[in-house]
Amino acid sequence: MFPLELPLNAAARKDEAIVGGQLGFTEEHYKRKLAGSIRACIELLKPDRWASIVFQHWDTSYFETILAAATGAGADLRAAVTQEREVIWSMHKKKNRETMLAGEMILSFYKPEKGHTELIVRESGTAYFDELLGTVLSDCGDRDDVTSQFLFNRIVLEAWKHRSLSQLAVTREAFAEALRKRGWHYDAGRHAWTHGVRHGYRDLLGEM
């Protein structure tokens, strides 16, 4: 039963976009349903209009599914914004802050009047996680701190730009460890990562 107490018949249950569930659907099933839903939305969208998709997950193949489906249906990715959460309500996320993504990624697509240059997704062995992480951290410049979701989302977009998102696979634990090796520290109070030098400088100011 749905939370609204509405019955779900067998035909509707087979169309659920879900992993697992009563029918034990696979991730591939979910991706097919996700891609189909996005294509349908873009096809129904009038030209010169916008559509935004809100999503977040550590599995980058989901992002590839979304981006490939939207661009393949005739839309252009024009903006990607990380929506931060000022308050984390989930106890699971509070207990595993370093390895959890608390915010959302808002992907905004534009459907032009006269088609677009379709992006072709192809595998590439040149863009690996460490390289992408280094590029994204360099782009952060002198930012005082950055959240996990901000960094992760920028990495996803950088990989997509180089057509190598299919090559990007990183666990949440590896993500946190890579940041530590580069001298970044997780500030649980601020739910953000800060670099070692600036981290020590703030501690020194606090003692003065």
> pLDDT tens-digit profile of 143-159?
778 888 888 888 888 88
- For residues 32-47, average pLDDT: 93
Please tell me the predicted confidence (pLDDT) of residue 136.
Answer: 87
Distance between CA atoms of residues 204 and 208, nearest Å: 7
Strand partners, 81: 106
In this prediction the pTM is 0.58
Q: How far is the first Cα of the chain from the last one, in angstroms, to the nearest whole number?
A: 60
d(CA 18, CA 169): 21
